[in-house]
Amino acid sequence: MNKIFIIGNLTADPDYSVSASGTPVCRFTVAVNRRFSGNQQEERTADFFRVTTFRKTAENCSSYLSKGRKVGVVGALQINDYTDKDGNRRTSVDVTADEVEFLSPRGEEQAPAAAPRKQTSASSSFAPINDESLPF
């Protein structure tokens, strides 16, 4: 089983594109702080995961995420080796996301520029219920 759960912050705005077959794709990088125990006075370090999303998840990530936002990602982990332009061997850690949860507080959310969200009141969302009509 290949399953990874990460929670962290986006390092930059997401990169949205459409594949040659017409599938929406969104890529972004998540920085995850490392935990350490004790009274260590070391600098905090982070691990960086490149995340790829597809279809409706990609569209939502592109619309609602931006640099600094906190996300939870569930997906499959891939380790890729490559040679950079200077001839050095490099390794990247990539996640193909199954789920992305937006974790930044609501007060920090921004509506996407293309589709502003309507504000609704709680009273208009719920219809009053008569206790007499309940079956229990």
Q: Of all residues in the chain, what percent carry a pLDDT higher than 90?
A: 58
**Confidence band (pLDDT; 50, 70, 90) for 40?**
low
Give 72-131 pLDDT, tens digit per residue: 999 999 998 989 999 999 988 899 999 999 998 765 544 444 443 333 444 444 555 555
User: Taking all residues of the chain, what is their mean pLDDT, rounded to a whole number?
Assistant: 80
d(C-alpha 12, C-alpha 61), whole Å? 12
- Map out the domains of the chain with their CATH numbers: 4-34+43-105 (2.40.50.140)
* Verdict on whether the full-model pTM lies above 0.75: no
CA distances from 110 to 25, 34, 45, 70 (A): 21, 28, 29, 13
Length of the chain: 136
